[in-house]
Amino acid sequence: MNALYTAALTPRADIPEEIARILFEGEPRPQRPKVRVHFDRLGEDDRNAVVAYCEELDCLHEDLDFIVAELDQAVAVLYSRSLHLKRLAIICHSDNFNFRVHAYREKAFKLVNRFLGLKLPEKVGSSGFNTKLLKLLHATRRQDLAEVLEVFRRDKRLSAAIHLRHLAAHARAHREWPTISAGRRVDDHRLARTAAYKLDRETDLDRLHRRVQKRFAMVNARLEQFRLDLVAHLERAPSRR
């Protein structure tokens, strides 16, 4: 795992103090990075939240990479000869992926709030938090960071994944191709299907799988670039106080 958030923004991966004293015995101790001094100055609740959000975001990167690999194995190897199971793999892995993209965006905004000690209330189920945070960043003259988050929030690929997650949870699910729709699944169980029909549907699913994998890869690349950008901006934040 590349635990970039955790290693860069928290002391979780730092050398313990007792070991540092041995390593640097008789030598001038290296100056602590400003980002660590900033972390120490946060209140206990904010420090704990920063560590938790960093860990969860790093794990979400690993989760999303795992989903991509698992979907490929499921369609190409495990269920290559099963229309029903191949279809279920695409549906379930897609829903899983979209859910985690949504979780990632929400946790990223909350990490910024906690790391900067902005004290914006984080009420579960309340709406408008991300918009309020952006306004607060502008009000506190952090326009560059606000711009990074605003571009991230407007990203079309991420927004599409989150929209699909909202529909699946709160309305009628939107499926990319008819073959994976709920109606088609019910019909395929209820009606007698010929071998030729099943082969045609499996081929259709293979095409969809390639399309989904390409989309997942682009989303993962975007999230990785965002992680690099956000960490860089937050590491510079203490110097601007």
89 contact partners, CB below 8 Å, separation of at least 6 = 71, 74, 75, 78, 79
**pLDDT band, very low/low/confident/very high, at 89 (cuts 50, 70, 90):** very high
Calpha distance 68→55 (Å, rounded): 20
Task: Read off the pLDDT of each residue in 34-46 and give the average, rounded to a whole number.
Answer: 94
Among the listed residues 149, 124, 116, 120, the one whose alpha carbon sits nearest the alpha carbon of residue 134: 149
- Domain edges within the chain: 4-240
Structure tokens at 138: 């502008």
Question: Could you read off the pLDDT of 134-145 as tens digits, one per residue?
Answer: 999 999 999 999
Least-confidence region, from 51-55, 86-90, 174-178, 229-233: 174-178
Is the pLDDT reported for residue 29 higher than 70? no
**pLDDT band, very low/low/confident/very high, at 20 (cuts 50, 70, 90):** low
Calpha distance 54→162 (Å, rounded): 21
Is the pLDDT reported for residue 14 higher than 60? yes
Is the pLDDT reported for residue 212 higher than 80? yes
Calculate the CA 35 to chain-centre distance: 23
Task: Read off the pLDDT of each residue in 214-218 and give the average, rounded to a whole number.
Answer: 96
Structure tokens at 54: 């960093």
Among the listed residues 208, 112, 213, 103, the one whose alpha carbon sits nearest the alpha carbon of residue 158: 103
Calpha distance 237→42 (Å, rounded): 13
Question: Could you read off the pLDDT of 153-210 as tens digits, one per residue?
Answer: 999 999 999 999 999 999 999 998 888 999 989 988 887 778 888 888 888 899 999 9
- Above pLDDT 70, what percent of the chain? 91
- Report the chain's terminal Cα–Cα distance, integer Å: 32
Is the pLDDT reported for residue 215 higher than 60? yes
